[in-house]
Amino acid sequence: MLKTELTVPSDLKFIEVVEHWLLESLQLEVDHEIDWSQVEKRLRLVVVEVYSNIVRHAHNEKPELPVLIRIELEDNNLSLEVWDQGEGFELGNYSAPSPTDFQEGGYGWLILHRIMDRVEYQLHVGGDRNCLKLEKDLAAAAAA
């Protein structure tokens, strides 16, 4: 079982640090029968989408606000929590972009739901933090 966490400033210059930490930590622990290349591509997209959205939107370019990322891996089941201190994202105000609109943004929520098995978002946990919790069966993902 793997249990670890990383706290980084809310600054896009740390995106590679976040990517490498997450992907390399998981690769060390994941079952060697899993096709890691397939899993890695999907998880890279997820972590880049989540972290960049927190930096640009939730924390609104305030690098002094930390981003906390926790990962747990047990029997190839990944649990990923990402904590921020931004205003939060009101899910009730979200509407999926239409493919005919050629909209530049707004696809992150769709990407997360498409790639991950479970997506849960909680606003203002403990008063000042938001938590995005993502879960994925990595063995099933590699077989897909």
Q: What is the pLDDT of residues 77-124, one digit of tens each?
A: 999 999 999 887 765 665 666 666 665 666 778 889 899 999 999 988
pLDDT at 61: 79
* H-helix segments, the chain: 15-29, 36-53, 108-115, 138-143
Task: Spell out the CATH class of 2-143.
Answer: alpha beta
Question: Which of 117, 46, 115, 128 lies closest to 83 in space, CA to CA?
Answer: 128
Cα 76 to Cα 64: distance, rounded to the nearest angstrom = 34
State pTM to two decimals.
0.89
